[in-house]
Structure 1
Amino acid sequence: MTTNQEEVKLLGATGSPFVCRVQIALKLKEIEYKFVEENLVNKSELLLKYNPIYKKVPVFVHNDKPIIESLVILEYIDEIWKQNPILPSDPYQRSLARFWSKFIDDKIVLASSKSVFTIDEKEREKHIEESTEALQILENELKGKFFGGEEINFVDIAAVFIAFWIPLVQDIADLQLFTDEKFPKLYNWSQEFLNHPVVKQNLPPRDPLFAFFKARYDGLLAASK
């Protein structure tokens, strides 16, 4: 719990998987905070002040000190508030959690997004192949119910993009990128994860997000003709 002396703010945009990561971690830790919705087309003075380099969300502000980049924010939250830890206590396991979370960002988030939002057929095939390969590596790594064993941890939170965002955007482009046939363990994990009470409470509403990405996809298709 936060104390009266602490000021905790999260600058974010509803619908961002990176912001969602931070919201899940804060809820798991039972930390009270103020959410500041940002318009990324017309960025606020506050966002530009706290994140002048990247000008992106999420920005986590603790007692007027800004922390940026979602994985860095998760580590910070875990170090400051010790209850309900999300990183393993063992240094080796902790380093593995950092590795796999970065792997998700480097190998899955970008490639799977490009699988949908790339019109060039050859390029799209390349991104689908990259995504499939990376998802298979992660499938092989998953040993239990969650990446954290019986409880969700750092890697599970980082992988919210796979559980919620990939199925949403693949529906738009009619892709079969992430299915229970291709990745049974990862797919079962995604269902368990999405149904976790804390995760469920902090996911953005699907319909407006679907409409937003559908409009973007349709716009790309129209521009390519």
Structure 2
Amino acid sequence: MGNKDVKVVSFWVSPFVKRVEWALKLKGVDYEYIEEDIYNKSPLLLELNSVTKKVPVLVHNHKPIVESFIILEYIDETWNQYPLLPHHPHERALARFWANFAERKLLDIAWVAMCSSGNEQEKAVNIAREAMEKIEEEIKGKKFFGGEYIGFLDIALGWISYWLPVFEEVGSMQIIDSSKHSATIAWMNNFLSHPVIKESLPPRDKTLAYFHTRRKALLSTFQGFFKD
């Protein structure tokens, strides 16, 4: 049964929401799951997040916290068990840097690549591949970005393990190359095999269908996205 003091306003296929769920589950914190229709936003969501009107929203003791990275840090500071961020300030700063790098240079660009075609898609794929090269170097020699266990950066980049292959299939493109990104692929397998992660992934067929629908709806949106 969920903890009435902790609620997560969610959307089933959102990788941003999954970050919050993963963090809570790794820490053993019970929560109440509230599914949101992001295309017909409820009064509850508009009340809890009147600024961006987006999920996820973490509600703790009746107080809302928004934006997935901010929520992750709040969770880590509130519940001490299973620390997510490294202890050393420099390592914490690096984890935050890589989380933001992957968001801007890989996630955002991979989304553009999935929802575009022709030259626009090619440009986006090339940028995403460059970002993957940097991430590959960062994970080399490690089981997880957090070391021997899943940490903040693994959760932040966890979407790569499940959602990025979906983006690739939907967009008929390739960003992850098994011959170049072997360390990343090993990390993906380690991440996806963890019981907490494995049991909380959305169904792949349903996920594929959802993103096929999104690509169809947004296909013209990113034409001309990259200015020469």
Range class of TM-score, shorter chain: over 0.9
Q: Which moved more, 1:84-93 or 1:72-81?
A: 84-93
Alpha-carbon offset, residue 106 of structure 1: 1.2
Q: Deviation per CA, 1:34-78, whole angstroms, max 9, x where unpaired?
A: 010000111011100110010000000001111100000000000
Q: Which amino acid aligns with 1:191?
A: N
- Residues 193-212 of structure 1 mapped to structure 2, 5 A cutoff: 193-212=191-210
- Residues 39-54 of structure 1 mapped to structure 2, 5 A cutoff: 39-54=37-52
Within 1, Cα distance between the matches of 2:133 and 2:94?
Answer: 17
Q: Deviation per CA, 1:82-120, whole angstroms, max 9, x where unpaired?
A: 00011111111111111111111111110011111113x
Alpha-carbon offset, residue 33 of structure 1: 0.4
One of 186, 189, 195 as aligned partner of 2:187: 189
Within 2, Cα distance between the matches of 1:54 and 1:221?
Answer: 24
Per the alignment, residue 86 of structure 2 pairs with 88
Any stretches of 5+ residues in structure 2 without a counterpart?
Answer: 224-228
Per the alignment, residue 158 of structure 2 pairs with 160
**Superposition CA RMSD, Å:** 1.9
One of 118, 135, 145 as aligned partner of 1:138: 135
TM-score for both structures, normalised by structure 2 = 0.91
Alpha-carbon offset, residue 222 of structure 1: 9.7
Within 2, Cα distance between the matches of 1:221 and 1:52?
Answer: 29
Within 2, Cα distance between the matches of 1:95 and 1:220?
Answer: 35
Per the alignment, residue 97 of structure 1 pairs with 95
Q: Which moved more, 1:96-105 or 1:20-29?
A: 96-105
Within 1, Cα distance between the matches of 2:84 and 2:135?
Answer: 19
Residue-pair matches, total: 220
Alpha-carbon offset, residue 122 of structure 1: 1.6
Within 1, Cα distance between the matches of 2:177 and 2:79?
Answer: 36
1:180·1:188 contact (CA, 8 Å) conserved in 2? no
TM-score for both structures, normalised by structure 1 = 0.93
Q: Which amino acid aligns with 1:7?
A: D
Within 1, Cα distance between the matches of 2:187 and 2:220?
Answer: 36
One of 125, 130, 138 as aligned partner of 1:128: 125
